[in-house]
Amino acid sequence: MVVMPVVDREKCNGCGLCISVCYCEALILVDNVITVLETEECGWCTECEAVCPTGAIACPFEIVIEHS
Amino acid sequence: MAVNNSFLKSVAYFPGLSTEELDSVKKLIFEKKVERGDIIVFEGDPPEALYFVSSGVVKMFRTSAEGKEQVLNIVRPGESFNDVPAFDGGLNLASAQAMGPVTLYGIPKHSLDLFLQEHPQVAVSVANVLAAQVRHLVSLVEDLSFRPVVGRVAKVLLEYAGDGTSPGQQLTQQDMAAMAGTAREVVSRSLKVLQSEGVIEIDRHRIVITDKEALRGIAGASN
Ligand code: SF4
Ligand code: SF4
C-alpha cells in the first residue's frame, strides 16, 4: 500500500486545480469529487495541497526521530 | 477568442461592468497558454502585461542571491498577477511560473493607461486588489524578516515527533503554519532550510529528525 494524500470529500468543490498541478496522474474527479489513486509516482510534492482553495486535500507528514 | 463575459465578471477588476464595457475590455485582451514549469514573468525584467489566470494555477516567487526560492503567492483562476509593474512601469517584482497547464489572459502594459482612462470606475477595483496584495505581502515580510520562524517550525517538529515506540502525529504544512503562526509558504521554505542544514531529512511523507540536538538548539534560539 502506498501512502497517498488524504481527501476530505465534504470540502472538495470539484474545481480540478489539484489535478492541473499534479505530475503523477494520481488525482481524478469522480462525481465531481477528487479521488486519489495509489501510485509510487507521487513524490509528496504537496502542490495539490498548496493550490486547493478549500483545504480539501492534505499531504500530512509523519514526524519521526532517527535513533542512531 | 473564447474570453467570455462570465469569466471577466469573476475577475476582481471587473465587477459591475456593463456588457458594452466588458466588450471593450475584451478587445484589449490576448490569450496565452503555457505548460507546467514555464516561466511567464521573470523577476527583474521590464513588464509586458498584466495577467489574469483563466484556468490552472500560477506560482509567484522571488529568488535570493544564493538561489533559494521564496513563494510569495499562489494565483488561482479569476486572480491577477504582475499588477504592480504593469501599472507603475518598474521592473517585475517576482517571477511567475505555471504549476501545471495554464490559460492566461493578458492586457498589454501599453494598453493599461488608456483602459483606465476609458473606465475610471475600474480604478477603484484596482485599488482594492492592490490593497489585498499589500496586506498579504506585509504579513509575509513580517514572518520572513522579524520573526524567527525557522525556530518555531523546529519547535513544532520536536513537539510532534514520535519517539520511535509510538507513531508521530501527522501534520500537513498547513497545520505546521497554523501552529507556528505563519504562512504555509514560509513553512515550506523553513523545512528546506532545516534540510539543507542537515538536521532533518524529508523522505516522501516522513520528516526524519536526524540531529535532534541541533534541532533543539534552533528551536531554543526562537525563544
Ligand atoms: S503530492 Fe504532488 S505528486 Fe502527489 S498527488 Fe499531490 S500533486 Fe500529485
Ligand atoms: S483543488 Fe481541492 S477543491 Fe479543487 S478538486 Fe482538488 S481537492 Fe477538490
ipTM: 0.85
Residue B75 has a pLDDT of 96
Question: Best interface-test mutation with B: which of A1, A19, A61, A64 has the largest number of B CBs within 10 A?
Answer: A61
Residue A35 has a pLDDT of 97
The one-digit pLDDT tens for each residue of chain B (223 residues) are 568 888 898 898 988 888 998 998 899 999 999 999 999 999 999 999 999 999 999 999 998 887 778 899 999 999 999 999 999 999 999 999 999 999 999 999 999 988 888 888 899 999 999 999 999 998 888 887 766 889 999 999 999 898 766 666 789 999 999 898 888 999 999 999 999 999 999 999 999 999 999 999 999 865 5
Strands in chain B per DSSP E: 30-34, 39-41, 49-55, 58-63, 69-75, 80-81, 95-98, 102-108, 170-171, 200-203, 206-209
Residue B10 has a pLDDT of 87
Q: Please tell me if residue B208 touches chain A, with a CB cutoff of 8 Å.
A: yes
How far apart CA B208 and CA A61 sit, in angstroms, is 10
Task: Name the stretches of chain A with pLDDT < 70.
Answer: 68
Q: Which residue has its alpha carbon closest to ligand 2 atom 4?
A: A15
Residue of B nearest to A66 (CA): B210
B179 residue type, one letter: M
